[in-house]
Structure 1
Amino acid sequence: MDTERRLPRYSAEIRDRAVRMVLDHENDYGSRRAAISSIAEKIGCTSETLRRWVKTSERNGAAATTGGDANARLKALERENRELRQANEILRKASAYFAQAELDRRFKP
């Protein structure tokens, strides 16, 4: 028996491109299965192989097909969200402080 590991026949770029093609053009076909069959035929792999690539990509999330750019954007948005929450908290406290000061001023003789 041959215990040697087989090397992948398709590069990661080809896999990513094929998955993107399926996801982008899925609406042009009657079903996802039709899209996978058509695109698999064009790139020269079996439809089952491409179906597994798509399934794996969906399981791994959008980061698998969009690259690091989406991760960087997500981190930037999370940072901005955190800063806005801090600013809102400061404004809420300042508002409460000035409202209390206004009430105190009204009742002093």
Structure 2
Amino acid sequence: MEHAMLLPMHMHRHRLVALLDLGSTSNFLSTDLLRSLWLSIDPCPMLRVLVANGDRVPCQGVARNVALTIDTEGFTIGCYGIELGEFDLILGVDFLRTLGPIL
């Protein structure tokens, strides 16, 4: 992903790499990390997420109020758990809204 914007970050003392995706409305965390970080999740068994290749993948639940740090700045976001392949986390427009108005 030569032109992708990747952000090194920390979540629960784990160093992760997030992909900043302007085409994504929500934030997504890998299901493996969702389990290994022992995040509290609300199940959403009927939810399927439309991904870039056109597939609909099942959502393992949503983790709310997840604390993360990028550089020295702290953020609290919600993340849907889905299989992400090579990424730990995808930050979408929901994350960008925490930075201020999107014009």
TM-score, length of structure 2 as denominator length: 0.22
The structure carrying a bigger strand percent of its residues is 2
Task: Choose between structure 1 and 2 for higher RCO, CA contacts under 8 A separated by at least 6 residues.
Answer: 2
TM-score, length of structure 1 as denominator length: 0.21
